[in-house]
Amino acid sequence: MLNKNKKVALTGGFAVGEAINQINPDVMAVYPITPQTPIVEYFSKKVVDGKADTEIIQVESEHSAMSACIGASAAGARTMTASASQGIMYMMEVLPVASAMRLPIVMAVANRAISGPINIHCDHSDAMAMRDTGWIQIFSENAQEAYDNTLIVMKLAEKVLLPATVNLDGFILSHSVENLEILADGKIYDFIGEYQASQQLLDFKNPKTFGPVALPDSYFEFRKQIYDAMEKVRDEFNKVTKDFGKISGREYQKIETYKIDEAETVIVAIGSTCGTIKSVVDKMRAQGKRVGLLKIRLFRPFPYIEVKKVLEKIKRVVVMDRNLAFGTQQILAGEIQKSLEREVESVVYGLGGRDIYEKDIERIFLGKEIGDKGQFFLM
Amino acid sequence: MKEKNKKITVSGTCAGCPIGIIAKTVLESIDNPIVVANATGCMEVTTTIYPNTSWKVPYIHSVFANAGATISGVETAYKALLKKNKIKEKKPVKFVAFGGDGGTYDIGLQSLSGALEREHDFLYVCYDNGAYMNTGNQRSGATPWGASTETTPIGKESIGKDVKRKDLMSIVAGHHIKYCATANVAFLDDFKRKVKKAFLTKGPSFILVFSPCPNQWKFVSHKTIEVGKLATKTNFWPLYEIIDGEYKINFIPKSKVKIEEFLKIQGRFSHIFKRKDKDKLIKDIQNKVNQDWERVRDLEETRVRV
């Protein structure tokens, strides 16, 4: 029992495991996959030590992990799981069922490249593959954010009745030790509250059929409800993060800007690379270069209006995607272009865990090695 | 049973389809509150077309492959919520998953296996109509040798499905669960008794129930029970239980009926009777049936625990 806030040194994976421990969900589905495994290992240890009284289901696959989560959440349990990469691809079939049933399941994703070829290191291909399945998606820059985001989306998911993922870069965050502050248990309890499902499968007085066949006369309406719920996240996110600010002193926005005042060039990025970019911005600003960063924290729903407001007057925008789309523009670049209604420069970097250094980011800021079509592959 | 006490009313199936009887028999075998998980398939599509539902008990369908995992989640949530005094229902709740042969022998096998291994307290009922009937009769791991289906059609080079069906009972028994049994909708009392026994078993239990399909096996719809009875009387579908690993045969035909009698009333086997080598083919099928039956009989007689 943690009575007051505490500074700790944890890996990002353990930080998420600690957040799950403090949430103390009713049910957690557990299946190993690198680099997510430390999350479920950390949490499982907490359960066997009696620190959480969660029922753990040790499933035999990710497809079953998400299927069991759907069953548990429909039955009225606060339900969580964690996965990555092939795990996300394997459970892909059931991800849209979770959102269609309006189940506030929270899943941590330690972002990893997808096969093939097989690669266990970081990129955002897994998260991007599930971006249109009706899940709220939030990204983390560091262990503190991974911890905070887990708490934030738990509350957010239950408010709007949509499932949510907390994304943290595989290995870079999941396996690196950082200092962070964890909150007192009581604060978390007050923040997320006791869970009471609005529609419960285990209501025997009013038995309900979950997951019926919807023909052309009703299917469209069901899908529209998911759309509407996702739109609701735009306002609810602000309320939830405001409440979170009160208990933590850390108030988050959907996006974060870094030194964009009078910037001529702004890089848009997601995840841990934002920390590296901030360091480059500091150095280049000291040299009088007018550069800045826009970090996207909330990816689904995508904060178009907020992005537009920030980038509208910026002369040069470069978007860094840590995933590769084929036969179309890059995913984050496309979202930024949509926000601005004008072309932006697009860079693909860091696939399969390829390191990105400050010198690389500096080159991007300076516009070096940008190819004919504005596409930049970091070699 | 009075109308208001009914747990299910099925009206959307094809004529002569026994799926409604199977669901009703399972649900009404006990008085406890019951939760159903269902794999995609004939039972699911015929009972849950929005905004209607045949189910008057809590029911969840998610996808094709995950009935076992879905019921695992529901049952685990029940345990978790019971611990926290969040379950209003006083009577112990029972959990049942239904899947067809496609959703059980094939795409849902892993999910079922995991749920059995984890020892969730539930009953899995597989209604076996021997092919993917919901999508229009494509072969499954349960389709018997020699049956013609849309994906194992008869032709110059083909006599229908040319490999034998999976022995699902042995696969399930390999999980060493306390209770599993075969059943047949044409032997309803036996089926009811087995469902009750399964529900009283703590931990996972499994029933594989024979479910003749008039449409795709191609027999007239009032002959469902006749076809079912012949399946068991010919030893094509023996009725047995595996209790704590021990086989127990529940029905031994008084006079042995030849497999030909079962085959010839179904259109899916009619091509066999038109062939020059029909005598040999029927003999082969008879031999296969005999072998399977002898294996079960030997396991019972020797009391070997599987």
DSSP string of A240-308, one letter each residue: HHHHHHHHHS----SEEEES-TT-SEEEEE-TTHHHHHHHHHHHHHHTT--EEEEEE-EEES--HHHHH
H or E segment to which residue A318 belongs? strand A316-321
Of the partner residues A58, A73, A93, the one whose CB lies closest to the CB of residue B63: A93
Q: What residue in B sits closest to A216 (Cα-Cα)?
A: B50
> Count of H helices and E strands in chain B?
12, 10
Find residue A168's DSSP bridge partners. Answer: A110
- Residue A373, pLDDT score: 46
Considering only CB atoms, which chain B residues are within 8 Å of A74? 60, 73-74, 77
pTM: 0.97
Residue from A28, A60, A99 whose CB has the most chain B CBs within 10 Å, to mutate: A60
B56 in contact with A, Cβ within 8 Å:
yes
| Model pLDDT for residues B130-147, shown as the tens digit of each residue | 999 999 999 999 999 999
- ipTM here: 0.97
Find all residues with CB under 8 Å of A342, minimum gap 6, and list them. none
The pLDDT assigned to A137 comes to 98
Instruction: Say which of A54, A57, A94 has its CB closest to residue B62.
Output: A94
Closest-CA distance of chain B to residue A45, Å: 18
Compute the distance between CA of residue B211 and CA of residue B91 in angstroms, rounded to an integer: 31
Q: What is the pLDDT of residue A376?
A: 58
Cis status of the peptide bond prior to B51, with omega within 30 of 0: yes
Record: contact A209-B48, CB cut-off 8 A: yes
pLDDT of residue A372: 47
Distance CA B155, CA B253 (A): 35
The residues, ordered by sequence, that sit 6+ positions from B40 with a Cβ below 8 Å of its Cβ are B61, B63, B64, B103, B134
Chosen for mutation from B76, B98, B109, B119 (greatest number of chain A CBs closer than 10 Å) is B76
Cβ of B111 within 8 Å of Cβ of A213? The answer is no
Do B8 and B209 touch, CB atoms closer than 8 A?
no
Q: Residue B256: its pLDDT value, please?
A: 84
Task: Give me the helices (H) in chain B, please.
Answer: 19-27, 42-47, 67-83, 101, 109-117, 168-173, 188-200, 214-217, 224-233, 259-264, 270-273, 278-302
Residue of A213, A218, A220, A223 to mutate, testing the B interface (most B Cβ within 10 Å of its Cβ):
A213
**Amino acid in position A222:** F
Task: Look at residue A379 in the predicted model and tell me its pLDDT.
Answer: 38
Smallest CA-to-CA distance from A289 within A205, A210, A228, A364 is with A364
Give the residue on A whose Cα is nearest the Cα of B63. Answer: A94
- Say whether B66 and A67 touch across the interface (CB within 8 A): yes
Which residues does chain B have with pLDDT short of 50? 1
Locate the domains of chain B by residue range: 3-302
CA distance linking residue A345 with residue A181, whole number of Å: 37
Tell me whether residues A207 and B76 touch, CB distance under 8 A. no
What distance in Å separates residue B302's CA from the closest CA in chain A? 34
Q: Domains in chain A, please, with CATH?
A: 6-248 (3.40.50.970), 255-377 (3.40.50.920)
What is the CATH T-level fold of the domain B3-302, as seen in this structure? Rossmann fold (3.40.50)
Question: Which residue is listed with tokens 């108030």?
Answer: A251
**DSSP designation for B152:** S
* B residues 6..25 contacting A (CB < 8 A): none
Query: pLDDT tens, position by position, for chain A (379 residues)?
Result: 789 999 999 999 999 999 999 999 999 999 999 999 999 999 999 999 999 999 999 999 999 999 999 999 999 999 999 999 999 999 999 999 999 999 999 999 999 999 999 999 999 999 999 999 999 999 999 999 999 999 999 999 999 999 999 999 999 999 999 999 999 999 999 999 999 998 789 999 999 999 999 999 999 999 999 999 999 999 999 999 999 999 999 999 999 999 999 999 999 999 999 999 999 999 999 999 999 999 999 999 999 999 999 999 999 999 999 999 999 999 999 999 999 999 999 999 999 999 999 998 999 999 876 554 445 565 3
Nearest by CB to A212, from B48, B87, B110: name it: B48
